[in-house]
Amino acid sequence: MSDPVKMIDVSGKETVYRSATAVGRIRLKKTTVEAIKEQGIKKGDPLTVGEIAAILAVKKTPELIPLCHNIPIGQVDVEYEFMENSIEARCRVVTNAQTGVEMEALMGVATALLNIWDMTKYLEKDADGQYPDAAITDIRVVEKRKRE
């Protein structure tokens, strides 16, 4: 029989500065990327909505990832980079805590990308209502820092 599920005890660890940065990409039609650049999305600016949603998701990470610790969030930065047929989102999270913020950064970037999808899906559907071009990919942690 396996061990019971449990949260890791970090109570004996020192509180230190920690940061993590995650990135991910949403592939879209070139015309959809252009519509975002030109502020032509019916629901409004998906990058701003994505940024706000990412911040909210970072703060709610322990509610959605059961074994994540509830830690104080010091800062959340969300940035975007346009490519021809995709947008890369980058989410950096900072804390002073006893454990890291990798899951928070991953949650932030994933939520930013999901909100972009939600706001642009009407442009991505084909005649059958499918999404042959849209895809969220390459979500990963690209940097983790800890100062002792």
Residues marked as catalytic: 118
| Structure tokens, 60 | 């709610």
| 118 close to 53: Cβ distance less than 8 angstroms | no
- Block residue for tokens 């442009």: 123
Query: What distance in Å separates the CA atoms of residue 16 and residue 7, rounded to the nearest whole number?
Result: 20
Q: What does DSSP assign to residue 111?
A: H
CA distances from 96 to 15, 28, 31, 90, 148 (A): 6, 37, 42, 20, 11
| Structure tokens, 8 | 């890791």
Amino acid (one-letter) located at 18? R
